[in-house]
Structure 1
Amino acid sequence: MIDITHHGATSGVTGSCHELTLGTKQNTSAGVLIDCGLFQGQEKAEGASASDLSVDFPIEHIRALVVTHVHIDHVGRIPYLLAAGFEGPIICSEPSAIMLPEILEDALKIGFTRDRQLIERVLGLIRSRLVPVPYGQWHEVFSEPGRSLSVRLQRAGHILGSAYVEFDAVSGDERERIVFSGDLGAPHAPLLQEPASPERADRLVIESTYGDKDHESRETRRYRLKAILERALADGGTVLIPAFSIGRTQELLYEIEGLIHEFGSDCVTDGLAWRDLEIVVDSPLAAEFTSIYRQLKPFWNGEAADLVRQGRHPLSFEQLTVINSHENHLNAVDYLARSHRPCVVLAGSGMCAGGRVVNYLKAMLGDARNDVLFVGYQAAGTPGRDILTYGPRGGWVELDGERFDIRAQVHQVGGYSAHAGQSDLIRFVEGIPDMPAEIRIVHGDASAKQAFKQRLESLGYSGVLIPN
């Protein structure tokens, strides 16, 4: 018996947590978890609130946790998994092993405890459990009479270190290759090598964040980013980009550095050349991960490596200012709100549900000279979704319990999503030589999952399921 159970990312795009279980004739079982993430916005576990972080399913039989990547909606509940008694290894890619303690340190400080000694104990425990596995190499999870399980990680192209997960599972007379996609990236993403389809998948569990639409091409989105920045900065305002600390921030810096390099002497607005435009990263976590990205150059794609060989510094360029201290952050918000100085600010968090971006929004949403640019998915129930939905109508958004009118211009460049579009997802599935007997669609809004299911079925795929 080989079973798949879903503990999250079935009613939306957050809280990713899946279980692969192998049974025996003696009715004992051994399993692994694939991710253990936080729910965000209105999304929640069945019968629980998003703020209920307890692990409410049996874990006595769970032998290991496999992490696809370190975004908080995939790893944020790991401390609670440990608190529930999980004692197994945490298997992940080599870059993820470096980044996971950093992202969990931030999560612990925000939602768990401010006790530094306790945080260090938890992080020490996590570090002791980490098992970094190189891409493309099989790793045995367990092997015992009647059953065995091995795992292999392959590049997913979503963020640095992201992986899709292949399992070779044997239980009695059954043997299956089961693949969990994690989050898949779009081809031609800055910095990252694009994913290649698995050689085999008897069963496939695949994300569908953008299962109903395609993104702009990289060239199209790059010049649309340029046009939005030029138009937005023309009236002396600030362009505020709510950015996820891992992945999106680094890709945007890469693209902006490219625009500055290409159009340096051209005017981004009257009296201001591209090469003189200040780019601010106001997020200690984003700054930390940008530094880690720079350290992990061996995992960059060929294009990015070529820029480094040419003497370019796509994640550390002259126009870039990093704000770390909270005092400097408050000063920057006040100065930019009053000065009318053209500036681009990348601030966390990506869905505006917390972090330093909230102070910028409070100070700047009411001024029509400012612009908000979204470059990633906004989950239902988050302030980011509300600003995106109601901003163009002159509506309002609630931040920290207070209503703020939205007079700033609101833009979206979908091509900068770290997720694959529908055509990319279809390409990934069609690249598997033999059709999977079963495809489970997770990690998407209901409309996106349904559209993706219909598209797969139109191509002749059977056994396409949307788990509850």
Structure 2
Amino acid sequence: MIQIKHHGAVKGVTGSCHELCLPAGGILIDCGLFQGQDAKGRSSASDLAIDFPLSHIRALVVTHVHIDHVGRIPYLLAAGFDGPIICSGPSAIMLPEILEDALKIGFTRDRQLIERFLDRIRERLVPVPYNQWHSVLSEADCSLSVRLQRAGHILGSAYVECDARSGGEAERIVFSGDLGAPHSPLLPEAVPPERADRLVIESTYGDKDHEDRATRRYRLKQVLEHALADGGTVLVPAFSIGRTQELLYEIEGLIAEFGDEAIEGEPLDDKPLTWSRLQIVVDSPLAAEFTRIYRRLKPYWDDEARALVSAGRHPLSFDQLTVINSHEDHLNAVDYLAKSHRPCVVLAGSGMCAGGRVVNYLQAMLGDARNDVLFVGYQASGTPGRDILTYGPQGGWVELDGERYDIQARVHQVGGYSAHAGQSDLLRFVEGIPEAPLEIRVVHGDADAKAAFKQVLELRFPGSKVVIPV
């Protein structure tokens, strides 16, 4: 019997971990960390320990390297998993980097221990090219092969096709991972699978659609112009992988198009503030490292991005961009920008404001109406980011490091820059499968988003059984 089990991302949008089980063995699809509301009651190592059997698990397949999909890998190894970690080529490069950062924050800063762990990870990595079948097990009348296809979510992201055979059963089972929105900067969009008897699909935005690219780009320009006119800082809590690089790409495009056009407001050094004089700061060592990796992996960019490079543009490395690495420089930047009237755009981690350098900026700047907070990614329930987004427009407050901070800064959201597909995009992915799946499992979404998406799927695919796992 071929079974699907879920060990995460069924009660919210984090902790992704799914199991495909055959009589001769099984695989895990992702092993992610719980965050925000999903993490309540999971504060200690014992709470995060792997609580399901592993002896039959032959491999871990990683869809992409966001922490809510890979953050529990240290616990997986601690529980005894010693199989291969299958992922795309770019993900194989980035996974040790993201896990190193997670280890420093959640486990230890002992360099030797970290290196030993990362060596174990590197030994297990099996990079698999897109669109190429890879055999995981083949024993008597039982076999399982997997194939990775581009998901358009972040660099290296993939959805996973599984060709499973057991006795007389033969199924093609697809795990979507996280699907990206079409027409996102830098990455080709996902192409639906040729077949899916069963589909496990995310629903982060299963209840809503995003703005199109032209609209979101115009709104980004408007927000930046309005915010910079009064000499404040535009603070963008950005995820280190994906959103940071896409925003840099779009901002570089705005600078290239409107470089000599003045932004209304206070002059800068007695000269009009123009787009070409706008300072962009990336204050996140991890984001800076992944931006370097993105630049190295240009062959995985889409045609538009590669054409810009061929034309002499540098969308991830331009003159107005400054990268802050050291903690001392970070603190100096926070202090300077909080006191000065020099307009600046700061991209700082983490994306949901639950830690990282963005917290220091928020503590110093939320109380000043000159400043703006711009959200471009999903804010999970229970995170400071969700609270700022909810209560900021009402002049409310947010708790950061155990203290309350009043929100006087303006709060904006440009949803079109989400890494996730909207409802219509998700539907197009399912509709693109030549024959509708017999079963569709809706995961990785808040309760309302899953319920809304389930209802739409049932109307659109009456012959499919639509399930929300619990």
> Secondary structure of 2:217's match?
helix
Question: What amino acid sits opposite 1:4 in the alignment?
Answer: I
Spell out, residue by residue over 1:110-144, the C-alpha distance to the aligned partner (whole angstroms, 9 max, x if none). 00111110000000000000000000000000100
> Secondary structure of 2:416's match?
helix
For 1:340 and 1:368, how far apart are their aligned partners in 2?
12
Are the aligned partners of 2:88 and 2:129 in contact in 1 as well (CA < 8 Å)? yes
Residue 427 in 1 paired to residue 428 in 2? yes
Residues 50 and 445 of structure 1: is their aligned pair in 2 closer, same or farther, counting only changes over 3 Å? Answer: farther
Shift in Å, 1:69: 0.1
Aligned to 2:268: none
> Secondary structure of 1:185's match?
coil
Are the aligned partners of 1:40 and 1:50 in contact in 2 as well (CA < 8 Å)? no
Q: Comparing 262-271 with 314-323, which one deviates more in the overlay?
A: 262-271
Q: How does 1:273-352 map to 2 (within 5 A)?
A: 273-352=274-353
> Secondary structure of 2:50's match?
coil
For 1:267 and 1:129, how far apart are their aligned partners in 2?
53
Aligned to 1:369: 370
Aligned to 1:139: 134
Shift in Å, 1:269: 3.4
Are the aligned partners of 2:145 and 2:164 in contact in 1 as well (CA < 8 Å)? yes
Residues 239 and 333 of structure 1: is their aligned pair in 2 closer, same or farther, counting only changes over 3 Å? Answer: same
For 2:262 and 2:22, how far apart are their aligned partners in 1?
62
Residue 250 in 1 paired to residue 256 in 2? no
Shift in Å, 1:109: 0.4
Spell out, residue by residue over 1:299-332, the C-alpha distance to the aligned partner (whole angstroms, 9 max, x if none). 0000000000000000000000000000000000
Spell out, residue by residue over 1:304-361, the C-alpha distance to the aligned partner (whole angstroms, 9 max, x if none). 0000000000000000000000000000000000002100000000000000000000
C-alpha RMSD of the superposition: 0.9
Spell out, residue by residue over 1:242-271, the C-alpha distance to the aligned partner (whole angstroms, 9 max, x if none). 000000000000000000000000113332
Aligned to 1:395: 396
Aligned to 1:466: 468
Alignment partner of 1:163 out of 153, 158, 162: 158
For 2:203 and 2:461, how far apart are their aligned partners in 1?
18
Aligned to 2:86: 91
> Identity, % of aligned pairs?
80
For 1:424 and 1:94, how far apart are their aligned partners in 2?
26
Shift in Å, 1:365: 0.2
Aligned to 1:148: 143
For 1:93 and 1:173, how far apart are their aligned partners in 2?
31
For 1:62 and 1:269, how far apart are their aligned partners in 2?
60
Q: What is the TM-score normalised by the length of structure 1?
A: 0.98
Aligned to 2:2: 2
For 2:132 and 2:336, how far apart are their aligned partners in 1?
51
For 1:158 and 1:268, how far apart are their aligned partners in 2?
33
For 2:459 and 2:262, how far apart are their aligned partners in 1?
49
For 2:411 and 2:436, how far apart are their aligned partners in 1?
42
> Secondary structure of 2:211's match?
coil
Aligned to 1:232: 227
For 1:57 and 1:272, how far apart are their aligned partners in 2?
58
Aligned to 1:56: 51
For 2:331 and 2:264, how far apart are their aligned partners in 1?
26
> Secondary structure of 1:188's match?
coil
> Secondary structure of 2:37's match?
coil
Alignment partner of 1:172 out of 147, 167, 173: 167
Question: What amino acid sits opposite 1:121 in the alignment?
Answer: R
Q: What is the TM-score normalised by the length of structure 2?
A: 0.97
> Secondary structure of 1:32's match?
strand
For 1:230 and 1:211, how far apart are their aligned partners in 2?
32
Question: What amino acid sits opposite 1:211 in the alignment?
Answer: G
Residue 15 in 1 paired to residue 20 in 2? no
Shift in Å, 1:50: 5.2
For 1:109 and 1:404, how far apart are their aligned partners in 2?
27
Are the aligned partners of 1:202 and 1:437 in contact in 2 as well (CA < 8 Å)? yes
Are the aligned partners of 1:229 and 1:268 in contact in 2 as well (CA < 8 Å)? no
Question: What amino acid sits opposite 2:8 in the alignment?
Answer: G
Aligned to 2:197: 202
For 1:255 and 1:93, how far apart are their aligned partners in 2?
26
For 1:49 and 1:160, how far apart are their aligned partners in 2?
29
Question: What amino acid sits opposite 2:111 in the alignment?
Answer: R
Shift in Å, 1:235: 1.1
For 1:38 and 1:78, how far apart are their aligned partners in 2?
9
Question: What amino acid sits opposite 2:14 in the alignment?
Answer: T
For 1:242 and 1:235, how far apart are their aligned partners in 2?
20
Aligned to 2:269: none
Are the aligned partners of 2:436 and 2:461 in contact in 1 as well (CA < 8 Å)? no
Are the aligned partners of 2:210 and 2:415 in contact in 1 as well (CA < 8 Å)? yes
Aligned to 1:26: none
For 1:81 and 1:337, how far apart are their aligned partners in 2?
42
Residues 148 and 32 of structure 1: is their aligned pair in 2 closer, same or farther, counting only changes over 3 Å? Answer: same
For 2:188 and 2:121, how far apart are their aligned partners in 1?
28
For 1:407 and 1:132, how far apart are their aligned partners in 2?
47
For 2:219 and 2:258, how far apart are their aligned partners in 1?
14
Shift in Å, 1:146: 2.4
Alignment partner of 2:178 out of 164, 179, 183: 183
Question: What amino acid sits opposite 2:201 in the alignment?
Answer: I
Alignment partner of 1:41 out of 20, 29, 36: 36
Question: What amino acid sits opposite 2:273 in the alignment?
Answer: L
